[in-house]
């Protein structure tokens, strides 16, 4: 198993990419701390892992709060004895996120609190724990929009994911010689509840699909396998990357007929 003997913490582990990654990590031998603000969803993930014979614990935390982030790391170490893998995955895409003219300050601030500050706080408290474990891997969920402007305006989200990518590069540079790898996972558009709520009309969905050479939305399970690679020792020489898993969207100048 690719993560045998490892301890992983996954924020946003109750749904989407986080849920599928939690199950996959457990199948590959990791002990998993599932963090989410949605208690029922987080506990359900843990129950599914345990039903398959894996080890997991649910931790309630709001990643925009320092005290919660500190506690989620402490609880993980207290429960499983170490932390080797930190997947800063929790994030939001607000339905009222739009262009600069029409995005409210409250939407901007909330998006930055969760998507950017949440990653910062995860690293702030997680890096010392990974250092104590002798090194490991941090994966921060950014997005393909960290590299391209979105066809449907979502300025706060796009700016937040650009910040995650830049933060990841600097953290990777700072901590590389400590045996701590830091990579930005940049998924393309996925058929997740989060995105489908945002792309809430057929017109919005089609405006996104027309730019994807593969002609479909990605699946969260497909992204989970990319996270597994970045978390495992197979990616031991990979750090500071913009790890795109996007169906070719960033490679395309025009969409094929």
Examine residue 148 and state whether it is found in any structural domain, yes or no.
yes
Give the number of residues written for the chain.
257
Examine residue 255 and state whether it is found in any structural domain, yes or no.
no
Query: How far is it, in rounded angstroms, from Cα 36 to Cα 111?
Result: 16
What percentage of residues in the chain have a pLDDT greater than 70? 98
Is the Cα torsion angle 54, 77, 136, 225 positive or negative in sign?
A: positive
Examine residue 139 and state whether it is found in any structural domain, yes or no.
yes
Q: DSSP readout, 197-250?
A: HHS-SHHHHHHHHTT-TT-S-B-HHHHHHHHHHHHSGGGTT--S-EEEESTTTT
Examine residue 2 and state whether it is found in any structural domain, yes or no.
no
Give the count of domains, the chain. 1
Examine residue 1 and state whether it is found in any structural domain, yes or no.
no
Examine residue 257 and state whether it is found in any structural domain, yes or no.
no
- pLDDT tens string 50-87: 999 999 999 999 999 999 999 999 999 999 999 999 99
Query: How far is it, in rounded angstroms, from Cα 177 to Cα 172?
Result: 9
Structural domain that includes position 188: 7-239
Examine residue 125 and state whether it is found in any structural domain, yes or no.
yes
- Residue 15 DSSP code: S
Q: Which helix (H) or strand (E) holds 87?
A: strand 85-88
pLDDT tops 60 at residue 250: yes
Q: What is the mean pLDDT of the chain?
A: 95
What residues act catalytically? 157
- pLDDT tens string 21-44: 999 999 999 999 999 999 999 999
SS3 call for 104: coil
Q: What is the CATH number of the domain that holds 153?
A: 3.40.50.720
Pick the more confident residue, 202 or 245.
245
Examine residue 248 and state whether it is found in any structural domain, yes or no.
no
- pLDDT tens string 164-194: 999 999 999 999 999 999 999 999 989 877 6
186 close to 144: Cβ distance less than 8 angstroms? yes
């Amino acid at each position: 198993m690719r993560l045998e003997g490892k301890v992983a913490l996954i924020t946003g582990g109750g749904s989407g990419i986080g849920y599928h990654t939690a199950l996959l990590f457990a199948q590959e031998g990791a002990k998993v701390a599932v963090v989410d603000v949605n208690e029922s969803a987080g506990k359900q993930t843990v129950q599914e892992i345990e039903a398959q014979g894996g080890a997991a614990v649910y931790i309630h935390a709001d990643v925009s709060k320092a005290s919660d982030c500190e506690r989620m790391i402490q609880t993980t170490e207290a429960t499983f004895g170490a932390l080797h893998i930190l997947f800063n995955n929790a994030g939001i895409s607000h339905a009222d996120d739009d262009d600069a003219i029409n995005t409210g300050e409250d939407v901007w601030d909330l998006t930055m609190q969760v998507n950017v500050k949440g990653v910062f706080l995860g690293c702030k408290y997680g890096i010392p724990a990974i250092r104590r474990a002798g090194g490991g891997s941090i994966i921060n969920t950014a997005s393909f929009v960290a590299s391209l402007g979105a066809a449907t305006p979502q300025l706060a989200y796009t700016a937040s994911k650009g910040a995650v990518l830049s933060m990841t590069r600097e953290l990777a540079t700072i901590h590389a010689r400590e045996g701590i790898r830091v990579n930005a996972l940049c998924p393309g558009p996925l058929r997740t509840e989060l995105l489908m709520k945002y792309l809430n009309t057929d017109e919005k969905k089609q405006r996104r699909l027309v730019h994807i050479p593969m002609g479909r939305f990605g699946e969260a399970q497909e992204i989970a396998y990319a996270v597994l690679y970045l978390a495992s020792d197979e990616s031991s020489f990979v750090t500071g990357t913009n790890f795109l898993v996007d169906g070719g969207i960033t490679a395309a100048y025009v969409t094929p007929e």
